[in-house]
């Protein structure tokens, strides 16, 4: 995936103008496990949103396997997300009326997977993420760490090409953060899925192969 | 208060080969004119006078049925008070129209002084009509009269005399009540739903208050007082708007053209739908809604107090 | 995809049971109330129509032309035998009666009032419209030698006459002479129809003919035609056969009843509109709030790629599931109420006299018609549609980005 000259300005031309991102150029390879790091307000979330197509850049283009994402309509982008991207947010990821099992299978269902395929996949992920015993609980009945693991399971369930995660460990204690990262890492290796994080959590940084540091909307380090 | 004696009997009136049954009233023309609208209903000829003899004052539709006009003669056959047959010839002096079809097609009037002679009803009256400026006084007076009058007489207020009309009004309101109660039922539910939803939106806040030491009773009082204030203002506002609308329609009634024509048999004589500005009805309705309002929140309050503190705090 | 939306809708409703039940109960209760109201109103009008047909007009009545205007014996039906012969041949006509009426003065020793004297055959009237069922006091008979009469109850009341009282009736006969006839009251009838209750006296046809010096004549011939679709045909055929006679259907004779029926329809429509506009407000409140409190959830669903239509479908389904349950419950309980009221009636004794003035009994029976339930369904459907319009606009404004922005968390 390629990001070319990406810039984002909120309220351009007005007195409230904010330059969130300026001229970002990045390339992500298949199977990468990358962390976007930087202080609060440095532009991590904005960049993730633009990659995920939730927000449009003011300038620049994004290519994914040769397809120009920035040229897609909102609807085409939504469809693209459904088929090729997984999301994990900071908190409240789950659909409250669905059980853990249904939450994990939700996207697969939208994609018309067969029932047995979905069940196999859920069981497989549940054992990796150690959530077998809560599969029939509702999100309100499990802890925050478990909720985030379920969110991971849902994000990877349909085997997307890219997973975007915005501070998935922000609301977790250190032990839970560490476990979540280990599991994500394992999935990344096993399924060769590209993962991009936004985080300044040390456990996340420790697990990642590549760290991109942002400051005031610009890349200041890439290692 | 005004009063006038009336003598009333039923007679056959005929002209040539046409015979029609009709009420014939003996009235004192001068007194009656201040009491009822008989004099103003005149459309042709003249109203009766105190020294009239063989003059008759006919309803317009009755005149049509008899095919007579002012100045023509008609025969009257009836039974007088001594059960003998009374018969006489009358000249049509005037024709009236009140707009009440039933009345206009079956009523005729003559000077009581003259009629008394042929009906042997001198110093007798079928009844006295009394008119009061306000309806409340009438009811009181009826009661007072009941005590004073001899056994053979009865005093009746217009409600009793026109009992069918009054009861017809009651039936009308029966249907009104049925409809209104369905309206109130659905309003009750709507208010309940809204208050339930708005109270539940604050579940976490209420959980917090409970955690800080509020008892369920405190919560109940708090929510109830809130509703009291909201209900008071909304009902006052609604009452004022409703009153204004009713007042407007009282002054500018709705007009449905053709109404009078269609319902002339029911005595409706104008195309305008009269609307009454009645403070009592308005306040009564407002009060009902107010009470409805308060009762509709009892259940939502009960439901929220069923939650434990931790449940409330964790509510999403 | 719709299956998922449906499941989500169902689960969301189950999650918020109290709210869901409130909406369902609201719809069900207002619906059964409205159904009952409609049934009673229609039942009232049908009852009045039925009474008018049975006691007076039949489905079709024949009058000499001008009679109804002049009410004069000069305008009578003379060629009675021809007509009878014709009527007997028609198999569409289930029964018919011949009546001879004259207006006049009815008097007791105390009082005199205008009334109509009608010559009828009790046996024919019984076959025609079960006239005997209208008898409220006394016997359904004219006594031996036909010297007695049946009287409308209001008229008897006004004349202060009771069973056995003597009445004198004075009227003009066929020759223009004023005649009087005397008889005793054998029975009192109460039909609910004003014309009969307040002003009619019935004696035998033979006595009437004798009193009016007029035989082989009638003022009215009323026919029963049970097959409703054939009424117009029979009317046209009769009119063609007897050109000098007015052949009128009951709805032409009682236009007021038809108007009343129309008025009731309008009234019912207005009631439905008011009630379901208010009910729509209730559904609207629940749907709107359920969207507002799930903005975060919906935006996450949108962010992970759930199509917008899917969520819209979920909301609409939630609204319609509630309405459908409300409808089924309301139609069911309303149907039971109607069935009960149709067979046992509702007693409005307190309003009896008032109802009488409308030609009704104290116990009102409801009508049940299939279209009530269709109409009710339409009302619920439109109320639901109305109630989701605004919430769907709110939904449309939700952007997936909001899921990630701090303000939502
Ligand atoms: N929707 C928005 N409207 C206006 N300014 C925004 C918006 N989103 C982000 N910003 C601004 O853009 C900058 C980058 O924010 P963000 O990407 O959220 O940083 P981070 O996620 O690294 O904390 C900040 O200055 C923030 O105030
Ligand atoms: Mg951020």
**B161-205 residue pLDDT tens:** 455 555 555 556 677 778 888 888 888 888 888 888 888 888 888
Pairwise CA distance, residues B113 & B121, whole Å: 9
List, in order of start, the domains of chain A with CATH numbers. 2-222 (3.40.50.300)
In this prediction, residue C409 carries a pLDDT of 37
Question: What pLDDT, in 10s, does the model give residues C97-134?
Answer: 999 999 888 888 777 788 899 999 999 999 998 999 89
**Which residues does A125 contact at the CB level (< 8 Å), separation at least 6?**
A104, A153, A156, A157
Pairwise CA distance, residues C107 & C114, whole Å: 9
Q: How many CB atoms lie within 10 A of CB C69?
A: 11
> Which residue among C405, C406, C407, C408 has the greatest number of ligand 1 atoms within 8 angstroms of its CB, and so is best to mutate?
C405
Positions of E strands within C294-396: 346-347, 363-364
B187/C354 Cβ within 8 A = no
- The verdict on B185 touching C (C-beta cutoff 8 Å) is yes
Angle C295-303/C308-343 helices, nearest 10 degrees? 130
In this prediction, residue B25 carries a pLDDT of 85
Pairwise CA distance, residues C250 & C222, whole Å: 10
Residues with CB under 6 A from ligand 1: A 10, 18, 20, 38, 40-46
Which residues keep their CB under 5 angstroms from ion ligand 2?
A 45
CB-CB neighbors (< 8 A) of B314 in chain A: 140
Pairwise CA distance, residues A72 & C120, whole Å: 90
List, in order of start, the domains of chain B with CATH numbers. 2-125 (2.40.70), 133-158 (no CATH), 164-313 (no CATH)
Q: Min CA distance, A20 vs chain B (Å)?
A: 32
Pairwise CA distance, residues A77 & A70, whole Å: 9
> Which residue among A12, A16, A18 has the greatest number of ligand 1 atoms within 8 angstroms of its CB, and so is best to mutate?
A18
Question: Is C359 strand, coil or helix?
Answer: coil
Pairwise CA distance, residues B114 & B127, whole Å: 17
Nearest CA in chain B to C178: B19
Cβ atoms B39, B30 nearer than 8 A: no
Backbone angles phi, psi at C249, to 5 degrees: -80, 160
Pairwise CA distance, residues B116 & B296, whole Å: 67
Atom of ligand 1 nearest to the CA of A11: 4
Question: Is A214 strand, coil or helix?
Answer: strand
C26/B190 Cβ within 8 A = yes
CB-CB neighbors (< 8 A) of A98 in chain B: none
In this prediction, residue B257 carries a pLDDT of 62
Cβ atoms C392, A45 nearer than 8 A: no
Ranges of chain B whose pLDDT falls below 50 = 153, 160-161, 264-268
Please, where are the H alpha helices in B53-149? 60-66, 101-106, 112-119, 135-148
- The verdict on C16 touching A (C-beta cutoff 8 Å) is no
CB-CB neighbors (< 8 A) of B20 in chain C: 103
In this prediction, residue C378 carries a pLDDT of 93
Backbone angles phi, psi at A138, to 5 degrees: -90, 155
- Rounded to the nearest angstrom, the distance between the alpha carbon of A163 and the centre of ligand 1 is 21
Alpha carbon of C279 to those of B291, C27, C268: distances in Å? 19, 7, 16
Residues C170, C172, C173, C177, Cα dihedral to 10°:
100
Cβ atoms C158, C112 nearer than 8 A: no
Atom of ligand 1 nearest to the CA of A40: 23
Atom of ligand 1 nearest to the CA of A8: 12
A86/C304 Cβ within 8 A = yes
Ranges of chain C whose pLDDT falls below 70 = 1, 351-362, 402-409
Task: DSSP letter for C218, please.
Answer: B
Q: What angle do CA B203, B207, B210 make, to 5 degrees?
A: 140
Pairwise CA distance, residues A193 & A153, whole Å: 13
DSSP B26-50: EE-HHHHHHHSSTTTTEEEE----T
Pairwise CA distance, residues B24 & C82, whole Å: 43
In this prediction, residue C357 carries a pLDDT of 62
In this prediction, residue B285 carries a pLDDT of 81
Pairwise CA distance, residues B16 & B74, whole Å: 8
Q: Is the dihedral of CA C210, C215, C218, C221 positive or negative?
A: positive
Pairwise CA distance, residues B313 & B311, whole Å: 5
Tokens coding C243: 């050109």
In this prediction, residue C408 carries a pLDDT of 39
Overall residue count recorded for chain A in this entry: 223
Which bound ligand lies closest to the C-alpha atom of A50? 1
Cβ atoms C185, C162 nearer than 8 A: yes
Ranges of chain A whose pLDDT falls below 50 = none
């Amino acid at each position: 995936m390629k990001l070319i000259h990406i810039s984002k300005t909120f309220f351009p031309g007005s007195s409230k103008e904010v330059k969130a991102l300026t001229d970002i150029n990045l390339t992500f390879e298949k199977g990468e496990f990358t962390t976007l790091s930087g202080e609060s307000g440095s532009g991590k979330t904005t960049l993730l949103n633009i990659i995920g197509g939730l927000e449009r850049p003011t300038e620049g283009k994004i290519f994914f396997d040769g397809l120009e994402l920035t040229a897609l309509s909102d609807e085409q982008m939504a469809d693209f997300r459904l088929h090729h991207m997984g999301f994990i947010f900071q908190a409240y990821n789950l659909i409250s009326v669905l059980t853990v099992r249904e939450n994990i299978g939700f996207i697969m269902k939208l994609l018309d997977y067969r029932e047995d395929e979905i069940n196999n996949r859920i069981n497989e992920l549940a054992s990796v993420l150690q959530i077998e015993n809560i599969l029939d609980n509702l999100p309100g009945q499990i802890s925050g760490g478990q909720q985030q693991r379920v969110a991971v399971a849902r994000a990877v369930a349909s085997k997307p090409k890219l997973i975007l995660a915005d501070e998935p460990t922000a609301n977790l204690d250190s032990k839970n953060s560490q476990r979540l990262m280990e599991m994500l890492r394992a999935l990344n290796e096993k399924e060769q899925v590209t993962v991009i994080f936004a985080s300044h959590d040390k456990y996340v940084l420790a697990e990642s192969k590549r760290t991109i540091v942002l400051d005031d909307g610009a890349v200041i380090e890439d290692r | 208060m005004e009063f006038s004696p009336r003598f009333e009997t039923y007679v056959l009136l005929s002209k040539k080969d046409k015979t029609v049954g009709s009420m014939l009233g003996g009235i004192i023309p001068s007194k009656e004119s201040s009491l009822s609208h008989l004099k103003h209903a005149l459309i042709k000829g003249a109203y009766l006078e105190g020294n009239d003899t063989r003059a008759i004052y006919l309803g317009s539709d009755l005149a049509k049925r008899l095919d007579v006009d002012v100045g023509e003669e008609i025969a009257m056959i009836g039974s007088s008070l001594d059960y003998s047959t009374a018969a006489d010839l009358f000249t049509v002096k005037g024709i009236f129209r009140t707009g009440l079809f039933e009345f206009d097609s079956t009523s005729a009037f003559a000077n009581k002084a003259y009629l008394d002679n042929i009906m042997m009803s001198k110093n007798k009256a079928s009844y006295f009509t009394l008119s009061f400026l306000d309806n409340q006084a009438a009811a009181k007076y009826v009661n007072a009269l009941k005590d004073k009058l001899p056994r053979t007489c009865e005093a009746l207020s217009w409600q009793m005399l026109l009992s069918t009309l009054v009861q017809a009004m009651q039936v009308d309101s029966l249907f009104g009540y049925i409809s209104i109660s369905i309206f109130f039922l659905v309003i009750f539910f709507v208010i309940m739903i809204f208050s339930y939803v708005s109270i539940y939106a604050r579940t976490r806040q209420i959980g917090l208050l409970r955690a800080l030491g509020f008892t369920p009773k405190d919560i109940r009082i708090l929510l109830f007082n809130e509703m009291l204030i909201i209900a008071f203002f909304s009902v006052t506002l609604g009452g004022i708007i409703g009153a204004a609308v009713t007042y407007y329609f009282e002054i500018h009634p709705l007009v449905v053209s053709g109404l009078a024509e269609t319902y002339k048999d029911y005595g409706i004589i104008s195309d305008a739908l009269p609307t009454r500005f009645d403070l009592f009805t308005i306040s009564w309705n407002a009060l009902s809604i107010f009470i409805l309002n308060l009762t509709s929140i009892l259940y939502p309050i009960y439901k929220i107090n069923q939650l434990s503190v931790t449940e409330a705090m964790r509510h999403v | 995809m719709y299956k998922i939306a449906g499941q989500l809708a169902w689960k969301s409703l189950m999650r918020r049971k109290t709210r869901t039940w409130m909406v369902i109960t609201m719809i069900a209760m207002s619906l059964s109330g409205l159904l009952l109201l409609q049934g009673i109103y229609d039942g009232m009008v049908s009852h009045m129509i039925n009474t008018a047909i049975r006691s007076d007009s039949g489905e079709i009545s024949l009058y000499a032309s001008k009679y109804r205007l002049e009410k004069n014996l000069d305008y009578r039906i003379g060629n009675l035998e021809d007509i009878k012969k014709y009527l007997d041949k028609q198999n569409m006509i289930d029964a018919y009666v011949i009546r001879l009426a004259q207006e006049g003065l009815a008097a007791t020793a105390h009082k005199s009032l205008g009334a109509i004297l009608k010559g009828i055959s009790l046996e024919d009237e019984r076959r025609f419209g079960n006239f005997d069922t209208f008898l409220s006091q006394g016997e359904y008979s004219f006594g031996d030698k036909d010297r007695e009469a049946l009287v409308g109850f209001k008229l008897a009341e006004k004349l202060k006459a009771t069973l056995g009282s003597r009445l004198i009736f004075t009227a003009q006969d066929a020759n223009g002479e004023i005649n009087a006839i005397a008889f005793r009251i054998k029975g009192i009838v109460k039909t609910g129809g004003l014309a009969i209750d307040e002003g009619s006296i019935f004696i035998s046809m033979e006595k009437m003919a004798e009193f009016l010096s007029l035989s082989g004549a009638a003022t009215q011939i009323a026919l029963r035609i049970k097959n409703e679709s054939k009424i117009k045909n029979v009317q046209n055929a009769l009119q063609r056969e007897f050109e000098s006679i007015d052949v009128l259907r009951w709805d032409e004779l009682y236009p007021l009843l038809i108007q009343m029926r129309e008025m009731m329809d309008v009234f019912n429509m207005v009631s439905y509109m008011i009630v379901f506009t208010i009910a729509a407000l209730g559904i609207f409140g629940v749907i709107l709030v359920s969207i507002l409190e799930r903005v975060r959830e919906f935006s996450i669903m949108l962010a992970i790629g759930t199509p917008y239509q899917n969520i819209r479908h979920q909301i609409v389904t939630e609204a319609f599931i509630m309405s459908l349950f409300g409808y089924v419950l309301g139609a069911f309980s309303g149907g039971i109420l109607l069935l009960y009221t149709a067979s046992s009636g509702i007693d409005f004794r307190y309003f009896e006299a008032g109802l009488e003035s409308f030609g009704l009994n104290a116990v009102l029976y409801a009508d049940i018609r299939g279209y009530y339930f269709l109409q009710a369904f339409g009302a619920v459907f439109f109320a639901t549609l109305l109630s989701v319009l605004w919430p769907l606009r709110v939904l449309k404004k939700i952007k997936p980005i909001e899921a990630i922005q701090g303000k939502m968390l």
